[in-house]
Every structure is written in C-alpha cells, then in structure tokens.
Amino acid sequence: MGADLSLLAVAFVWGTTFVVIQSAISSLPPFTLNTVRFPCWILSSRTFAFAYKRRLFSHKLLLSDIPGH
C-alpha cells in the first residue's frame, strides 16, 4: 500500500512539474528560469537532508548542487 501511494505521489509531482515548467517557460526567459530553479533545488535538498537527519554538508550532497554533475 505504501509503495503504491509513493508511486502515485511521484507521478503526480512529475506531471504537475511539466505543466508548471511549460507555464514558466512562456513567461520567463530560460536564464531567469534556471536562476530561480537551482536555488530552489539547493534549499529543498538541504531541507530533505536535514529532515532525514543525514549530514547536511556531505560530499555527495554538495556535488548534487553543481549543474551537470
């Protein structure tokens, strides 16, 4: 049951992300959009790392903040 709910949540987030990005692309230039997206990713990854009580500044987490890595 928990796996099914997790899969449904991932599908929902993935689907809504597509709609949100399409809307954002029509109203923002790509550079501005990415300037907003990457700090949001960094904040959310730090929040999840803290929530799951992992090391906040682990090596892998820092590397995930580098675009293209």
pLDDT, one tens digit per residue, over 33-56 is 888 888 887 788 777 777 666 555
Claim: this prediction has a pTM higher than 0.75 = no
Mean per-residue pLDDT of the chain:
78
- Domain ranges in the chain are 2-64
pLDDT at residue 69 above 70? no
Q: Tell me if 25 sits within 8 A of 33, measured CB to CB.
A: yes
pLDDT at residue 68 above 70? no
pLDDT at residue 18 above 80? yes
Q: What is the DSSP string of 5-67?
A: HHHHHHHHHHHHHHHHHHHHHHHS-HHHHHHHHHHHHHHHHHHHHHHTT--TT-HHHHHHTST
